Amino acid sequence: MPFVDTTNVDALSPLPGWSGRFVDGENMTVVYWQINDGAQALHEHEHMQEEIWNVLEGEIEISIAGVARRAGPGCVALIPPHTLHSVKPLGPASVIVIDHPKREPFGQPVK
């Protein structure tokens, strides 16, 4: 399917305050995250995928390999595979995250 209307994709919530719509290509996953004010921080973790965070609205603090930085609109964070990282929302935000290779959706359906 070459075109996807993300408003028709069911949202999943892995953490309180996070709502993500997962779209898979053949080799990558794109997640459209809406982060609410007061959302829980994403704990430090690592995975096999290379990951790119693109902040569209709002602000987050992202830590990559122990280096933390505030990221707002226009900021892109590049996370190599198997690298520890975490994210702390600093208010409501809209973020696109791209993973390569693709990953399985995670979280519970948003009601």
CA dihedral sign, ordered 60, 63, 64, 67 = positive
Q: What mean pLDDT is predicted for residues 69-96?
A: 98
Q: Is residue 91 part of a domain?
A: yes
Token pair in block for residue 13? 């919530």
Task: Domain of residue 80: give its range.
Answer: 37-103
Q: Is the pLDDT of residue 85 over 90?
A: yes
Supply the DSSP symbol for 7: G
Reported confidence tier of residue 105, pLDDT bands at 50, 70, 90: confident
55 lies in some domain: yes
Is residue 44 assigned to a domain?
yes
Q: What is the model's pLDDT at position 78?
A: 98
Q: Is the pLDDT of residue 58 over 90?
A: yes
The answer as to whether 92 is a domain residue is yes
Task: Look at residue 57 and tell me if it is in a domain.
Answer: yes
- pLDDT at residue 14 tops 80: yes
**Taking the model in full, what pTM does it have?**
0.93
Q: pLDDT at position 1, please?
A: 66
Where residue 74 falls among pLDDT bands split at 50, 70, 90?
very high
The number of distinct structural domains making up the chain is: 1
Q: Check which CATH number belongs to the domain holding 51 and give it.
A: 2.60.120.10
Phi, psi at 17, each rounded to 5°: 95, -5
If you write DSSP's letter for every residue of 36-91 in order, what string do you get?
A: -TTPPPEEEE--SSEEEEEEEES-EEEEETTEEEEE-TT-EEEE-TT--EEEEE-S
Does residue 66 sit within a domain?
Answer: yes
pLDDT at 5: 96
Region 7-22 average pLDDT: 96
